[in-house]
Amino acid sequence: MIYIHIPFCKQKCSYCNFHFSTSLNFKDEMLSAMKKEIFLRKDELQNKNLKSLYFGGGTPSILSGDEIKSLIDEVLKYYDFNSDIEITLEANPDDLDKNFLKQLSTSSVNRLSIGTQSFFDEDLRLMNRAHNASDAEGSIKRAQDFGFENLSIDLIYGSPTSSLEIWKQNLNKTIALEVPHISSYALTVEPKTALEKWIANGKVSNPKEEEQNREFYYMIDFLKDHEFEHYEISNFAKKGFHSRHNSAYWKYTEYLGIGPSAHSYNGFDARSWNIANNQQYIRKLDSNLLAKETEILSPKDQFNEMIMIGLRTTWGVDLESLQNKFKEDILDQFQKEIQQKLADGILIEENNHLKIPEKHWFMADGIASDLFQV
């Protein structure tokens, strides 16, 4: 699978620390550099039968339909693909007007991941999103009118402007709009963001963990009642609408990341990441050089990653794979550490898979880190 990072946004959301620029001055140069990178790295993926192509960002919907098509064409020059390839575009509600959707409907994009975040203006203003509540709802309806049924929306819970009542209304609206996939995250205060500054100077109150906890577990019960499968801590899907791209990440499949700050993984022991600087990325590719650094993962790093990722999913960590892949000293230490958690019910073992029961998922990252090998 291939990930393409589009490093541009209209404006900076208050909570975001991703890599992007709000200046589009070098957009054409960036697209040329990305095409060059696709060409230079065309032999890196072992499997030439592409199952998923994902445009993330930043804001991929800031590009025109033709620009998106030209990037897809460039990828498909070097890879085979089945007719059911998943091609996802992350899109912001304010970009999904009729004109753009019309262009997109003639491309091979067949899945949209919409950055809705909330259907309430007060939440959206705090987040400094470029869209309002009316765009949030209208964009979903318009996308469906143009034939995009495979839709995911992002929703943020636990904002200081929200409440359990507002969160319930957000979820009700999502169901009414018949959205088949939801990615939902707690609002987190990242370093060097506007949100962090507003909280530090008292303009905004800190998100409350107990409120986030309540909203998270309300969402789990509510979405289950509406036939969603909770297949990863932050992801819920109706039958047939799991994200193929994300599921492949969580099953340690190799992937290629194109564009500034994009990460790649060889499916085994090497991870690389591109420089998170648009100008330097363009300059490197202009000289036919890749802008990436590579790290070889030690067995302990690989082990920790399998635990971290696996324990966030509904299928858990495959103990047979761990057994086959790692040496006894790592496994012995691990066995000692999981016994108490199994006894306490914080972990369960089912069909030779280790899992966190759903009622403890809110604490999953902490539970996983207790099992890390150092």
- If the CB atoms of residues 13 and 204 are measured against ligand SF4, the closer one turns out to be 13
Q: How far is the CB of 63 from ligand SF4 (least distance, A)?
A: 13
DSSP E strands, the chain: 2-6, 49-57, 80-91, 111-117, 151-157, 181-186, 229-232, 235-237, 256-258, 263-265, 270-274, 292-296, 317-318, 348-350, 353-355
- If the CB atoms of residues 18 and 146 are measured against ligand SF4, the closer one turns out to be 18
- β-bridge pairing 111-117 and 80-91: parallel
- If the CB atoms of residues 130 and 275 are measured against ligand SF4, the closer one turns out to be 130
Q: How far is the CB of 130 from ligand SF4 (least distance, A)?
A: 7
- If the CB atoms of residues 235 and 313 are measured against ligand SF4, the closer one turns out to be 235
Q: How far is the CB of 17 from ligand SF4 (least distance, A)?
A: 8
- If the CB atoms of residues 58 and 180 are measured against ligand SF4, the closer one turns out to be 58
Q: How far is the CB of 126 from ligand SF4 (least distance, A)?
A: 13
Q: Which H or E run includes 140?
A: helix 133-145
Closest alpha carbon to 143 in 191, 186, 199, 92: 92
Closest alpha carbon to 124 in 141, 111, 137, 142: 137
Q: How far is the CB of 154 from ligand SF4 (least distance, A)?
A: 9
Q: How far is the CB of 352 from ligand SF4 (least distance, A)?
A: 39
d(CA 171, CA 236): 12
CB atoms within 10 A of CB 192: 7
Q: How far is the CB of 298 from ligand SF4 (least distance, A)?
A: 31
Q: How far is the CB of 3 from ligand SF4 (least distance, A)?
A: 14
- If the CB atoms of residues 19 and 284 are measured against ligand SF4, the closer one turns out to be 19
Residue count of the chain = 374
Q: How far is the CB of 190 from ligand SF4 (least distance, A)?
A: 10
- If the CB atoms of residues 18 and 26 are measured against ligand SF4, the closer one turns out to be 18
- If the CB atoms of residues 53 and 130 are measured against ligand SF4, the closer one turns out to be 130
Closest alpha carbon to 154 in 217, 95, 218, 234: 234
- If the CB atoms of residues 59 and 278 are measured against ligand SF4, the closer one turns out to be 59
**162 token code pair:** 């929200």
CB atoms within 10 A of CB 42: 15
- What letter represents residue 341's amino acid? K
Contact 159, 122 (CB under 8 A): no
Residues that bind ligand SF4 (CB under 6 A): 9, 12-13, 16, 18, 20, 57-59, 92, 115
Provide, for the chain, the percentages of residues in helix, strand and coil under a 3-state DSSP scheme, each rounded to the nearest 5: 45, 20, 35
d(CA 273, CA 257): 8
